[in-house]
Chain A
Amino acid sequence: MAFSGGQIDALVMLDKKEDLMSVTISQYTKYTDKVASNRAISEAAWVRYTLIGLTLLFLSLFLFIPLAAVFTEALRKGAQTYFAAIVEPDALSAIKLTLIVAGIAVPMNLVFGVAAAWAIAKFEFRGKSFLTTLIDLPFAVSPVVAGLIYVLMFGLQGWFGGWLSDHDFKIVFAIPGIVLATTFVTFPFVARELIPLMQAQGKEEEEAALVLGASGWQMFWRVTLPNIKWGLLYGVILCNARAMGEFGAVSVVSGHIRGLTNTLPLHVEILYNEYNYAAAFAVASLLALLALLTLALKSYVEWQAAKNAADIEKEIKE
């Protein structure tokens, strides 16, 4: 699947290590073979460089140039305009709201992800694969539809709309609606990262802990959690990036009230539609920095998970 996680990288690394060992063992006999076979299963230099060049051109057109454009446009009118756009009260309240929303949605999906992965990975029950498919549902639904469903539930015309307005409680066009829509679109991230990881780990270690007299929670905190921490972190990083950057779903339920229900991406849209491009790109550059930080953390977690898997493999061999 799209996010294969650190575990696959770990496996790949182990594979390469074994290859390396077999090469050193039979280095003598295979050396000439290797050169010959390498030529047979590789391309001519000009083909290699053309393919690398084409790839870099494609990635530049779609990834590197847009990223560079964000920062160039943001700084076009000088550093002063840039910082003014970021510390302006509406921008600050958008930053605050974005942090609040992610701060609620991510932990909720984290608890769900652990619970769902525990049930699915460690137990057998009917309808398991159907449940796993249902968890993926929010990824298949358009963000706009994700926003719409909460308007249908909690809007004035919605199922609970009358009751909510009688009790003077707003969900749609207020912060609770934004939290709900964000929770929906980031729903599968942690669960789908943990399910394959915990399935691969099996349940022997947990059973050993119980035999040795640990209580259920002790087993969870001391055995399960340390085993899944990198996968968990990986899921949380991706979940958080999407939660802070979600646009379509939040746009439907927010009501676009400046300084009150605008998250950072919605603030970017408002500034852009007012032709205030420098300010729009300045705020957008904060989100681009968040994306770069996400990629850096993700690479670090993948590297750590691969290192962990390699260490465990080494211990087993010794």
Chain B
Amino acid sequence: MKNKHNKNTLPGFNLSLGYAVLYLSLIVLIPLSATFFKAFTLSWADFWQAVASPRVVASYKLTFGASLIGALINVVFGLLTAWVLTRYHFFGKKFVDAFVDFPFALPTAVAGIALSAIYSTNGWIGSWLEPFGIHVAYTPLGVVVALTFIGLPFVVRTVQPVLEDLGAEVEEAAASLGANRWQVFYKIILPAIWPALITGFALAFARAVGEYGSVIFIAGNMPMVSEITPLIIITKLEQYDYAGATAVAAVMLVISFILLFAINGFQWWSNRRFGNAR
């Protein structure tokens, strides 16, 4: 089992790598490639018809628009949450810290029905917004709420370790040179955390684009208005339009791959640029 090229005395390289690659191929790579093979069987006209019809284009706009807004909300409030959790002391802080991961742990279907219950017109929060004419549940705004919920932990968890490791010395030096608090934040802290902020934003955005479970309960799912792209795939499948569903899925897959490689590339670049000292 020893691998001569490795000059490594540890056993099990061929076995573990072989098993990992085989399992990865069987569960992930071969099934994913099925999507592209199926999509390639369509003629260009049929493919374009499936992925660029007005109803599907409207769903792209909603999915990417709502994901973008949700991720931006999370940049602002995720930074705020990470800041408060690392810099201040208050009662129940440890509990709040652990609870930030709740959207990762809660099944999306449960999140969906809970959010639509409280943001509907007779719900706890929805009934407060009703007099102002703001309707959240069963509108595109509901999609934003659901996507904000599922992306909430990403920015907090990428920014928090960077804030924790930021030395007090630099801030002290800036303050002793006469910088006020806002200048210290803007010129010292923000340049140190922006790679983490962007990574968190991209992770939240990528997660939101593919999200299905939490959205469909609160969205209302009206064609052209509040229908997300993953739901389009489901609808086409239920109509036995396998080719159409696959074409839309192929578009989403390409976008996901681009996002994944962009995120990995950005992290590689920022590690080289700013060093590994998170």
The interface stretch among A78-86, A283-291, A308-316 is: A283-291
Does B217 sit within 8 A of A, measured CB to CB?
yes
Decide yes or no: A65 and B19 within 8 Å by CB, A144-B230, A248-B108, A265-B213 being known contacts: no
Residues 77-102 of chain B, each 1 if its beta carbon lies under 8 Å from chain A, else 0: 10011011101101000001011111
Q: Do B31 and A245 touch across chains, with their CB atoms under 8 A apart? A: no
Q: Min CB distance, A141 to chain B, in Å?
A: 6
Docked complex Cα distance between A59 and B74 (Å): 11
Does B256 sit within 8 A of A, measured CB to CB?
yes
Residues 96-123 of chain B, each 1 if its beta carbon lies under 8 Å from chain A, else 0: 1011111111111111011101100001
Does B175 sit within 8 A of A, measured CB to CB?
yes
Q: Do B104 and A241 touch across chains, with their CB atoms under 8 A apart? A: yes
Interface of B is mostly: helix
Smallest CB-CB separation from B181: which chain A residue?
A43
Most chain A Cβ neighbours within 10 Å, of B15, B111, B252: B111
Residues in B neighbouring A138, C-beta threshold 8 A: 28
Decide yes or no: A150 and B31 within 8 Å by CB, A40-B176, A70-B110, A291-B102 being known contacts: yes
Interface of A is mostly: helix
Most chain A Cβ neighbours within 10 Å, of B88, B213, B233: B213
The interface stretch among A1-9, A87-95, A162-170 is: A1-9
Smallest CB-CB separation from B209: which chain A residue?
A142
Does A115 sit within 8 A of B, measured CB to CB?
yes
Q: Do B206 and A145 touch across chains, with their CB atoms under 8 A apart? A: no
Does A97 sit within 8 A of B, measured CB to CB?
no
The tally of residues in A whose CB lies under 8 Å from a CB in B reads: 108
Residues of A242-262 contacting chain B, CB below 8 A? 242, 244-248, 251-252
Q: Do A134 and B102 touch across chains, with their CB atoms under 8 A apart? A: no
From B103, B165, B212, B260, give the contact of A136 (CB < 8 A): B260
Smallest CB-CB separation from A269: which chain B residue?
B109
Residues in A neighbouring B106, C-beta threshold 8 A: 67, 245, 287-288, 291
Residues in A neighbouring B153, C-beta threshold 8 A: 2
Smallest CB-CB separation from B114: which chain A residue?
A66
Q: Do A149 and B34 touch across chains, with their CB atoms under 8 A apart? A: yes
Does B249 sit within 8 A of A, measured CB to CB?
yes
Does A268 sit within 8 A of B, measured CB to CB?
yes
Decide yes or no: A59 and B81 within 8 Å by CB, A123-B6, A133-B260, A183-B27 being known contacts: yes
Q: Min CB distance, A76 to chain B, in Å?
A: 10
From A115, A133, A144, A246, give the contact of B16 (CB < 8 A): A115
Q: Do B105 and A241 touch across chains, with their CB atoms under 8 A apart? A: yes
Residues of A206-257 contacting chain B, CB below 8 A? 206-207, 210, 216, 219-220, 238, 241-242, 244-248, 251-252
Q: Do A284 and B233 touch across chains, with their CB atoms under 8 A apart? A: no
Decide yes or no: A142 and B252 within 8 Å by CB, A55-B77, A149-B31 being known contacts: yes
Sample 7 A-B pairs with CB under 8 A, ordered by A number.
A59-B81, A70-B110, A143-B211, A144-B231, A245-B109, A248-B213, A295-B105
